[in-house]
Amino acid sequence: MVLLQAGGAGNMSFLILMGGMFVVMYFFMIRPQQKKQKEQQKMVSELKSGDEVITAGGLHGKVVSNDDATITISAGGGARLTFDKSAITRKK
């Protein structure tokens, strides 16, 4: 009978340890990533013509037009390139 009680206490401390690890992972990994993703979505949704941006591929250019899913960038020399909005990484 004593062995059963000792084993139950070990299982309970294991569950508490695992729960604590999940909480730590949430606050150090998951939550900051969600915050960063929301900031990125906000920045992309607020882009307007004339804004200078940088794409994920490293292309620098000015926003020419903007619609629901894509954005057109003037890359110099008259070149106009259309990108998915998710390709925009930052605004200059």
Stated pTM of the model? 0.68
Q: Between β-strands 80-84 and 88-91, what pairing exists: parallel, antiparallel or unpaired?
A: unpaired
Write down the pLDDT at residue 1: 42
Q: Which two tokens stand for residue 1?
A: 């009978």
- pLDDT digits 0-9 by tens, 17-52: 999 999 999 999 999 999 999 999 999 999 999 999
The two structure tokens encoding residue 37: 């993703």
Give the model confidence (pLDDT) of 48-87 as tens digits: 999 999 999 999 999 999 998 999 999 888 899 999 999 9
How many Å apart are CA 80 and CA 71, to the nearest integer? 10
Q: pLDDT at residue 6 above 70?
A: no
Q: Three-class SS of residue 11?
A: helix
Residue 76 is predicted with a pLDDT of 86
